[in-house]
Structure 1
Amino acid sequence: MNVQERLAAIHHLDAPNRPTDFEQRNGRIIRQGNRHAEWNVPIEVVTYGVDRTLDATAYGRLAIKQKFINQVLKGNVSDDQMADLNADDDFASMSFDQMMATLSGSQYALLYTARQLELSRLVQQKKNWHRGLVEAQAQVERARQFLSRNEPALPQLQAEADELRERFTGGRPGESTPGNPYAVTSITVDGTTYPEKWGEAVQYLIEQLKGRVKRYEQATKTMQINGLTFTLSGERVQEVFGELSQIVINYASGRLLAGTVSSSNGLFLSLKAAVARALEEPAFLQQQLNRARLTEQEFNRKLSQPFRQEAELQRLDAEVADLKRLMETETTPTENTLGQIGTPILAEVA
């Protein structure tokens, strides 16, 4: 026999841990197949609790949990706030509040709980606002440090880029595009200038540097490419895996040109790519500086904005304090006439 078809009443003697448990209990009687609907006979849902016991706290926790669950299901939970639901939106959460207020023995308990939740929400929003200020201040400091470190370097980078454009492409200072395709027109090694066929001389210089590294001698030499002085130095590099090492040649000229190679062919291929990057470096740095200035302005503006709900927070704080005092000064209610068994605090008829 399926007794659920003829259940006439359900009695909640305690508060479950989860709102869903409460709903599941009611689902045993409020369900399709209950023949009381056919008979037009209402069923009863009765909740019990004992005055001035932890029953009030239990139903208070259920109310908070139910509101959070409703917010998640409705998609109303954001990173910086959790708004209270309208009490009319959900019968179950309102019922939990009523249970808690009734069991507390205070006529102000329900209002106190609602205002306390609103206050907690605003307090959390202010904490998030304050964390935003800390992050904004950090962003401003980083932007200022970047500007102070790189703004003075821009004129020098532009001058080097203009020189490279003139020496390697025939372009004029200040032009945004090269005058001609990249070209190496002369190499000077050990005082000898080669207008062409300089590959062997450069390779010999590189082998000299490698030999000095093998003998653990100072391995640094200079050479000129298109009249621009480059410093070459040998270095022993350990392989990532294994115990073997190799010798490489580092080249550099000014702030913009640098690379690591192992042969003369590799040197000229690397130099061509380095020159192309160097010609774009001033414009790229200018973009970064503009972005840093914009970041500083935006976050400085954020630092100057006050917490917009400060007045509301202060009002709620005062109201919560007043309600708490009223609850503390209330007279003790008469003892429960049902004694140890408990009081039916909510009777619903479905």
Structure 2
Amino acid sequence: MNEGKIRVLFGSTEMLGTGVNAQKRCVAVHHLDAPWRPSDLEQRDGRAIRKGNEVAKLFAGNKVDVVIYAVEKSLDAYKFGLLHNKQLFIRQLKNNNMGCRTIDEGSMDEKSGMNFSEYVAILSGNTELLEKARLEKKIASLESERQAFVRGKSSTRYKLEGIMQTVETNKGFIARISKDVEAFNARVQTAPDGTRINPVKLDGLTATDPVSVGKKLNEIADKARTHGLSEPIGSLYGFTLLVKSETTVKDGFDLVQNRFFVKGEGEILYNYNHGHMASDPKTAAANFLNALDTMPALLDKYKTDNEKLMKDVPTLKEVVESVWKKEDELKGLKGDMTEMERKIAASLKPIEQSVGIMAGVPKEEEKPFQIPDRLQAVKEVMGERFIIGRPAAGVPERKGIKI
């Protein structure tokens, strides 16, 4: 081909595809059939449309003729439709601009694609089938869009319900913490220097100085075993002080840790340093007072969380209350599809009737087979070594056409 000794070269996509360098004198590519993949078509064209084509560059304006042969009103139309769908999907995927999550390339089987009656319609020149295929694609696309809309709306509804439940729960915490803050501010005592007094009262301890209180708390931290229950150990400004034993596993052994809390009037447990008691007695004695000091910050946290959550509520409500705007269009397309199926069914009746007529042809009566005299004479001489065969009588059956 490159030397000009071979003027015309025939071959399949596999034979003349990737790896064949015969472009030097190539002026045209003729596609006698349509491949199943767009990449195959590109490979065919690439045998001529590529660097190194000297004839096209010097005499044809650097262009190559590409001729595609197809038969009108045949399955070629459906085959090229598949190529179009596949190429569209590939381009959308490469450009990252797909508008849907799924794509149907089209199938050629009885379950998901054209059925055999539709094959007959296409071969008979019924162009309404192509319109039916286009309607099916539009309907499938709209139904997929509607399904995505419904899924998104449902997901938004669940999200909105979850937000509103969280907001209501936070409102309950805000009310209970606010009550505890008011009670603490009303009861707290301050020293002349402005510091708050820490009158911790522990059960079984008469002393109230910080060192004695701290030592007693460390003793409770080491020896108390509540088995997962919160047990009262004293009070501070009317708030109950609790200790709770928690068991964890470390290096294969059970480890018991005691945590300390202050229970508010709203049944909320406040803690400081994650409920762990400091080893220093004075610091340990101030643990519960420090826990009560966390209430304002905790109150602000719940208020801030609610403000952030409520910012999204109007937008979410708008999505939940929205209506899909293409419902009428989908109903219209389904009506057109019903009418198109009726027309196609009507156009197939003459074909089915003709098949019925062929099936109703009576068989020719079988006549006794007469052996010619000459063959009869030979048979008498040869005996059983001579066998006479004859064709079967009757009308040959039509097995159909293989496509």
Say yes or no: does 1:230 pair with 2:240: yes
Say yes or no: does 1:10 pair with 2:29: yes
Per-residue CA deviations over 1:228-283 (Å, capped at 9, x if unaligned) read: 43323252523343315244233232115134224454645754664443212223
CA distance 1:73–1:153, shift in 2 (3 Å): closer
Say yes or no: does 1:207 pair with 2:219: yes
Say yes or no: does 1:192 pair with 2:206: yes
Percent identical among aligned pairs is: 20
Q: What's the CA shift for 1:106?
A: 3.6
Q: What's the CA shift for 1:71?
A: 2.6
Q: What's the CA shift for 1:222?
A: 2.2
CA distance 1:235–1:105, shift in 2 (3 Å): same
TM-score for both structures, normalised by structure 2? 0.61
> How is 1:130-149 mapped onto 2 (pairs within 5 angstroms)?
130-149=150-169
Say yes or no: does 1:29 pair with 2:39: no
Per-residue CA deviations over 1:90-138 (Å, capped at 9, x if unaligned) read: xxxxxxxxxxx98784434554444433332221111111112211221
CA distance 1:161–1:143, shift in 2 (3 Å): same
Say yes or no: does 1:45 pair with 2:67: yes
CA distance 1:37–1:330, shift in 2 (3 Å): farther
Gaps of 5+ in 2: 3-21, 104-120, 352-400
Q: What's the CA shift for 1:18?
A: 2.1
Say yes or no: does 1:19 pair with 2:46: no
Larger radius of gyration: 2
CA distance in 2, matches of 1:137, 1:18: 43
**1:302 match:** 319
Equivalent AA in structure 1 for residue 35 of structure 2:
P
Secondary structure of 2:40's match? helix
Which is worse superposed, 269-278 or 249-258? 269-278
Gaps of 5+ in 1: 83-100, 171-179, 334-339, 343-350
CA distance 1:52–1:44, shift in 2 (3 Å): closer
Q: What's the CA shift for 1:306?
A: 1.0
Say yes or no: does 1:243 pair with 2:220: no
**2:275 match:** 260
CA distance in 1, matches of 2:34, 2:195: 82
**2:334 match:** 317
Which is worse superposed, 103-112 or 122-131? 103-112
CA distance 1:269–1:248, shift in 2 (3 Å): same
CA distance in 2, matches of 1:192, 1:269: 17
Per-residue CA deviations over 1:169-188 (Å, capped at 9, x if unaligned) read: 96xxxxxxxxx997453322
CA distance in 2, matches of 1:5, 1:168: 98
Q: What's the CA shift for 1:45?
A: 2.0
CA distance 1:242–1:147, shift in 2 (3 Å): same
CA distance 1:261–1:167, shift in 2 (3 Å): farther
CA distance in 1, matches of 2:217, 2:335: 83
Q: Is the 8 A contact 2:136 2:337 kept in 1?
A: yes
CA distance 1:328–1:67, shift in 2 (3 Å): farther
TM-score for both structures, normalised by structure 1? 0.68
Q: Is the 8 A contact 2:28 2:66 kept in 1?
A: yes
Say yes or no: does 1:125 pair with 2:125: no
CA distance 1:36–1:201, shift in 2 (3 Å): closer
Aligned-CA RMSD value: 4.1
User: RCO greater where, 1 or 2, for CA within 8 Å and sep 6 or more?
Assistant: 1
Q: What's the CA shift for 1:19?
A: 1.0
Q: What's the CA shift for 1:310?
A: 1.5
Q: Is the 8 A contact 1:9 1:43 kept in 2?
A: yes
